[in-house]
Chain A
Amino acid sequence: MARFLVRRLLFGLLVLWIVSGAVFLLFFVAPHDPARLIAGKLATPQTIALVNHRLGLDRPVGDQYAGFIGRLLHGDLGYSYYSSAPVGELLASRLPVTVSLALGGAVLWLLVGVGVGVAAARRPRSLVDRGGTVLVLAGLSMPTFLVGLLLLYFLFFRLHLAGITLFPPGGYVPLTQDPVGWAQHLLLPWVTLAAVTAATYSRLTRGSMLEVLGEDYIRTARSKGLTEERVVYRHGLRSALTPVVTQLGIDLGTLLGGVIVTEQVFGLPGLGQLAWQSVTTQDLPVIIGTVLVASAFIVVANLLVDLGYALLDPRVRPA
């Protein structure tokens, strides 16, 4: 077990190193000129050279990369080209927003996805199965920005015109400052995330529930005279949830690194918005910082999922 853990951790570090290296390279392959962007349109060549020098961009790529890795190993992610704020602080200030968004969304999509999946599996090919499946698939079939904007249009714009203001048009209020405002600001983003994600979970739940409900021990449970609810939820759903938990781990890992589109639509100042802004302004230290954080979440999530498997299922003993 210890060997397995060490190997997976080393692989995770390799992934982080390759991803950050790739982004670094990509940035230098690109026909970019951050100094010109920073100095403005009317800047003289001297100003641009000065900005380049101050950012260290006039040094050879190899030197810059060595410097970057050296600082990274000391836990220093560098400073934003634009705001000059330390990248570490920028990331830390954005993290609570993204965590609130991802976790709340996960609760909603689990409720809807698993609910529809179980209902569908109890009566396969029935009207409930068909209707529920089409409904969640409609969410999956829409681009996230479209779902978000539809919600904003009907639940903010039209309600607002009618004189009712239930939801703000966007923005974020910290949980510690105002719990009610926090939920109000996040409810529509949560629904958006859940709408585009629930289908994955209902598919998984339906498939594994169908398999589990055909097992002998379910027949035994029924023949013992247990209520149907108890058979389905206590005996069936429990073991059917394994693939759902796996998917949840992977999804949360991906989302915690930034929910780019949803944050953009609802103006939430999370990691995704930071990533998007840094890409459009070619702010390399921030780009690399966000990519590293996002990849780290995915690596850790995968590790936890594998570990959970190995602990829960004796058949999956890592070699």
Chain B
Amino acid sequence: MTVTALGQAAAGAAGARPDAIQGRGPWRLAWERLRRDPVTLASAATLVLIAAAAIAAPAVAHAVGHGPDDQYPDIGLTPAGLPVGPSRTFLLGTDNLGRDLLVRILYGARISLLVGVVATLLATVAGVVVGLAAGYLGGAVDVVLARFMDMVLSFPYLLLAIALVSVFGASLTISMLVIAFFSWAAIGRVVRGQTLSIREKEYVEASWSVGSGTLRVMFVEILPNLLAPVLVLATLLVPTAIVFEATLSFLGLGVAPPTPTWGGMLSDSLAFYQVAWWFPLFPGLALLATTLAFNLLGDSVRDALDPTAGRGSGGGDR
């Protein structure tokens, strides 16, 4: 159920008696807080804008007449072979191969968002399923799963990610899988902890006593109560994944060229920043705007839902 749907459900329930004090559930309260918060609105607007830009990438490419991989050695490079600055032809300038930076940044938004969202979805599903199973089933299952999560969390993960990518070869799929593999356990640990306490609640016992199966109790009774922390963790995981992809690109292990990614553009630009300020600046700004918006949004949602909740382990690709 979405936040709005829950809000409407709450409003509908209260609507039975119009003169009564309106009952407001935690989701409704959070929604009301978020709706009036300028930082949240600005972050949400930024993300909508970036998503729209990603969708509009082919249209823009068509309008300016430059494909994302088209090279313009004559007009896109100076006689010395350096990138040219922003102009009427190339609104944000060109890169070191004479490609239109604007078009590549828009196409890059598709890859960055894809990596961020898909890796997060994979990690969230795995984390929720494993965390729920460990917390609810308990016993030997819990011991094994909880220890496994501890183990994944004690991997020196950037090092192992580099080893994995260098072995399997850099590709979009590998980047997403590697990011998901090193992120799911953080979510799993939180879900397990919450499940342990929810399992003891009366309504779980009630559901169980009227004959609900294990799966039903896990996914219908317990899971909805975990939505808030999981939603926040997932929102905060997206920027981490995007930054991680950029880091892999910087180390030369990102998505293979010529596919445009922000991290790839940034690392390509490093040799040129002294002569072409626009080359690192615009991809960097696009990346920062996206990750900052996700981080601010996640923080506000968490703050609105629970002002004292903590966050698991922080970003760590240092």
* Residues of A that sit less than 8 Å from B by CB: 11, 14-15, 18-19, 23, 26-27, 29-30, 32, 124, 130, 133-134, 137-138, 140-146, 149, 153, 157, 193, 196-197, 199-200, 203-204, 207-208, 210-211, 243, 247, 250-251, 254-255, 257-262, 264, 275-276, 279-280, 287, 290-291, 294-295, 298-299, 302
Q: What's the minimum C-beta distance from B152 to chain A, rounded to whole angstroms?
A: 10
A26-B167, A140-B295 as given contacts; A279 in contact with B162, CB under 8 Å = yes
With beta carbons under 8 angstroms apart, the residue of B39, B154, B313, B318 that contacts A299 is B154
Q: B156 contacts which chain A residues (CB < 8 A)?
A: 254, 257-258, 291, 294-295, 298
- How many contacts between A and B, using CB within 8 angstroms? 152
Q: What's the minimum C-beta distance from A208 to chain B, rounded to whole angstroms?
A: 7
Q: B314 contacts which chain A residues (CB < 8 A)?
A: 140, 197, 199-200, 203, 247, 251
Query: CB distance B310 to A243 under 8 Å?
Result: yes
Q: What's the minimum C-beta distance from B139 to chain A, rounded to whole angstroms?
A: 14
Query: CB distance A210 to B307 under 8 Å?
Result: yes
Among B158, B274, B307, B315, max chain A CB count under 10 A is at B158
Query: CB distance A146 to B266 under 8 Å?
Result: yes
For A136, the closest partner residue in chain B by CB is: B295
Q: B307 contacts which chain A residues (CB < 8 A)?
A: 124, 207, 210
Query: CB distance A260 to B310 under 8 Å?
Result: no
Nearest first, the 4 A-B pairs at minimum CB distance are: A200-B314, A294-B156, A141-B291, A30-B167
* Residues of B that sit less than 8 Å from A by CB: 39, 147, 150-151, 154-156, 158-160, 162-164, 166-168, 239, 243, 246-247, 250-251, 263, 266-267, 270, 273-274, 280, 284, 287-288, 291-292, 294-296, 299, 307-311, 313-318
For B166, the closest partner residue in chain A by CB is: A279
With beta carbons under 8 angstroms apart, the residue of A144, A204, A247 that contacts B318 is A144
For B159, the closest partner residue in chain A by CB is: A275
A207-B309, A247-B314, A294-B159 as given contacts; A143 in contact with B247, CB under 8 Å = yes
Q: B239 contacts which chain A residues (CB < 8 A)?
A: 140-141
Q: A146 contacts which chain B residues (CB < 8 A)?
A: 246, 266, 284, 287
Query: CB distance A137 to B292 under 8 Å?
Result: yes
